[in-house]
């Protein structure tokens, strides 16, 4: 059995159903996130609002598009805790100035006291 590749015309206009079997709306357009290299969908909901859905949030594409989440879960993405986020070190202009949060640390600090980022 061969794989079926979908084109834009196969997807645009399809009905979108959430994880609780509610009809959200229809696909308006494909979207691309260049930062994460993710393909997603722009959906026009029943009330006319536009919502972007990542391909990671899609369960299956067939006669309709089935999502893994509800509309409220898509609209309010999970926030990453500060402790889980460690941005790459960036050279600060002023000694002790954190390039991530802007907090002025001691000149000899190796890590920012406020956000924990590594000082350069």
pLDDT at 92: 45
Q: Take residue 85 and report the two structure tokens written for it.
A: 């986020």
By the 8 A CB rule, do 50 and 43 touch? yes
Domain map (residue ranges) of the chain: 8-75, 79-120
pLDDT at 1: 47
3-state helix, strand, coil in the chain (%, to 5): 10, 30, 55
Residue entry with tokens 């089935």: 66
What string of pLDDT tens digits covers the 120 residues of the chain?
456 788 889 999 999 999 999 999 999 999 888 878 888 899 999 889 999 898 889 999 999 999 999 888 887 766 555 556 666 665 546 888 888 888 899 989 988 888 888 887
**Which option is the CATH number for 8-75: 3.40.50.261, 3.10.20.90, 2.30.30.240, 1.20.1250.20?**
2.30.30.240
The closest alpha carbon to 30, from 75, 59, 73, 65, belongs to: 65
* Predicted TM-score of the model (pTM): 0.59
């Amino acid at each position: 059995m061969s794989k079926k590749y979908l084109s834009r015309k196969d997807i645009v206009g399809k009905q979108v159903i959430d994880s609780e079997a509610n009809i959200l709306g229809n696909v308006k357009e494909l979207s691309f996130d260049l930062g994460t290299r993710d393909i997603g969908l722009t959906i026009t909901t029943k009330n006319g609002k536009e919502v972007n859905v990542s391909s990671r949030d899609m369960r299956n594409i067939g006669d309709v598009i089935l999502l893994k989440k509800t509309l409220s879960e898509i609209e309010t993405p999970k926030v990453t805790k500060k402790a889980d986020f460690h941005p790459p070190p960036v050279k600060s202009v002023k000694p002790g100035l954190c390039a991530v949060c802007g907090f002025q640390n001691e000149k000899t600090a190796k890590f920012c006291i406020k956000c924990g980022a590594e000082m350069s």
